[in-house]
Amino acid sequence: MPFVGAEVKSTFEELKLLSPDLIFTHNHKDAHQDHRSIAELTAQTFRDHLILEFEIPKYDGDLGRPNLFVPLESEICEKKIA
């Protein structure tokens, strides 16, 4: 598939107008190229904002060294397992 980085960056520039207080994005070392690109664009676009990166456990095990774990309710865990 063709890379459309300029279009994605343009969309990020539009999002910048929202000026959010807090931004969640993928970890910048994510092994998935799309996730990694989004994290890089987030850091480039929102330089003066609080950005928290997250990692999604995946089968390929590209987890880094998380510095925060968020506990989940038992019901949510059961739903995710199902």
User: Global pTM?
Assistant: 0.67
The two three-digit tokens of residue 3, written as one number: 């890379």
For residue 13, how far is the Cα from the chain centroid? 17
Q: Domains in the chain: how many in total? A: 1
Compute the C-alpha angle 50/52/57, nearest 5°.
Answer: 170
Token pair 């998380």: residue? 66
In this prediction, what percent of the chain has a pLDDT beyond 90? 35
Residues 27-55 have pLDDT tens digits of 988 888 888 999 999 999 999 999 999 88
What amino acid occupies position 38?
I
What range does the domain containing 74 cover? 5-81
